[in-house]
Amino acid sequence: MAKDQLQVLNALDTAKTQWYHFTAIVIAGMGFFTDAYDLFCISLVTKLIGRIYYYEGPDKPGSLPSNVSAALNGVAFCGTLAGQLFFGWLGDKMGRKRVYGMTLMLMVICSIASGLSFGKDAKSVVATLCFFRFWLGFGIGGDYPLSATIMSEYANKKTRGGFIAAVFAMQGFGILAGGMVAIIVSSAFKALYPAPAFQDNPVLSTVPQADYVWRIILMFGALPALLTYYWRMKMPETARYTALVAKNAKQAAADMSKVLQVEIEAEEEKVQQVEAQRSGNEFGLFTKQFLRRHGLHLVGTCTTWFLLDIAYYSQNLFQKDIFSAIGWIAEAKTMSAIEEVYKIARAQTLIALCSTVPGYWFTVALIDKIGRFSIQLMGFFFMTVFMFALAIPYQHWTMKGNHIGFVVMYSLTFFFSNFGPNATTFVVPAEIFPARLRSTCHGISAAAGKAGAMVGAFGFQYAENGIGVRNTLIILGVVNFFGMVFTFLVPESKGKSLEEMSGEAEEGTTATTESAMEAGHGVRTSV
């Protein structure tokens, strides 16, 4: 197969791990760092926004109404879903690199704008926040298919899974950074503007300067994105897009010669020959050929990502509520507004540090050794087990002295989601579809995931109030079990080239065989 493949693609597949691989991981990964920071930092400040703008009198601290809380948590996911579909499609039409800069600038502008308000009353603050967080999500959505596709098309086949997973693992550092920024900002404001607990003085417990705390935390998300913009613009277009989709073998060879620092032949004639052979074989997304060859794969990547994100985002966005319910975070009335931000951020940072971040890097280390399928199946299995272990004896966990056990088990569900389906659902769609549809199909899979995140963000809020935390956790356990079942639709891509996985190599080989047979037949008849 290698002899039929373009030299530039073969060079990428067989390249040793080089400096440019790590540069690509950092450039693509910083987008994901920003994505995670922006998506999850909202959960750190929603209680503070509730105290400032929804004051309910001296009996209990102000809190966001259920519909407002769900909107603030979920609106970015609506934007992300739209962005994944739009920029995924655009990445296949215009090229990965050209679209890459657009998504980053959108994220920078909307991160800054999220901290601004057109008005001082609750309605205008929430409306402004929801508007800009939707468009922030739209930019974040574009980063999913583009980062995954760019990394998969730059990587060699031996360590490709680890490289794509490393880009995604930056999400863990983004979640960690969100918690750390919230700790630093809230600590500084707490020291500068001391305030009594709510039960001691309901009015003075929320100092006017607390309004700056949530704005600074949200706006900080613009900084890492801004720092990587220049480097993103300097990255060349991927050779697979340039050669296989844009049909410019000369440019692909020139770009990759610089990147790999080796001489690569342009092979324009070979590209034309392969294209002539494939011309009738280049099926689109809405065709019977795609359905026959990749239909079940797309169903597998969409359903597993959808089911994972219901559980994953429910746990992530509402862990503060769960920790409060079991008594790990003290009652709101025993703290000032800024102190509550500090306590929530400290709890979430601890979870991120002990389980979320290690889980991602276990995947990076082992994905090319034990394979995507095994990691995903194992992750869903343990998530199911730990979720039921939390839910069934839930009363036991709420008793005094049992909180540490609950937090450890809860952390393990995070560990196995990240050393499991949260990483693999991102990696696999970037490997198994043809180059001309790769970004689009990754975008569709990711959008299915964000639909699950919306179910998690909006559904958990109402489920927790309606049927209680215990029953909600049981439902999440069942969701994880179905994720395990649908994993069997997803193929293993470990150690195979992108063209082998997508069937593009087969298309070329079949066409070459057919043309050779025709030529042979012509020779015999002339004799």
Which whole number is the average pLDDT over 235-250?
81
pLDDT higher than 90, residue 218: yes
> Exposure string (b/e) for 416-434, b if CB count within 10 Å is 16 or more?
bbbbbbbbbbbbbbbbbbb
Question: What percent of the chain shows pLDDT beyond 70?
Answer: 87
| DSSP calls for 180-202 | HHHHHHHHHHHHHS----TTT-T
Of the listed ranges 372-376, 409-413, 420-424, 512-516, the one predicted with least confidence: 512-516
Look-up of token digits 């069997």? 488
Number of H helices and number of E strands within the chain?
A: 23, 0
* Per-residue pLDDT tens digits for 271-291: 555 555 555 557 778 888 888
The rounded distance, in Å, linking the Cα atoms of 27 and 362 is 21
The C-alpha angle 178, 184, 187, rounded to 5 degrees, equals 130
Prediction pTM value: 0.84
Q: Which pLDDT does position 262 carry in this prediction?
A: 66
**Residue 521 pLDDT > 70:** no
What is the separation of C-alpha 332 from the centre of its chain, rounded to a whole number of angstroms?
Answer: 31
- E strands, 402-504, are none
The rounded distance, in Å, linking the Cα atoms of 259 and 424 is: 27
Average pLDDT over every residue of 97-120: 88
In this predicted structure, what is the pLDDT of residue 279? 53
What integer pLDDT is reported at residue 276 of this predicted model? 52
CA distances from 177 to 36, 168, 219, 223, 323 (A): 9, 15, 13, 12, 20
Cβ atoms within 10 Å, residue 251: 16
What's the CA gap between 236 and 260, in Å, rounded?
12
Q: Would you give the end-to-end CA distance of the chain in angstroms?
A: 32
pLDDT exceeds 60 at position 516: no
pLDDT, averaged across the chain? 84
Assess whether pLDDT exceeds 70 at residue 329. yes
Percent of the chain with pLDDT over 90: 38
Given a cut of 60, whether residue 115 has pLDDT beyond it is yes
Please determine, for residue 522, whether its predicted confidence score (pLDDT) is greater than 50: no
C-alpha–C-alpha distance, residues 149 and 88, integer Å: 9
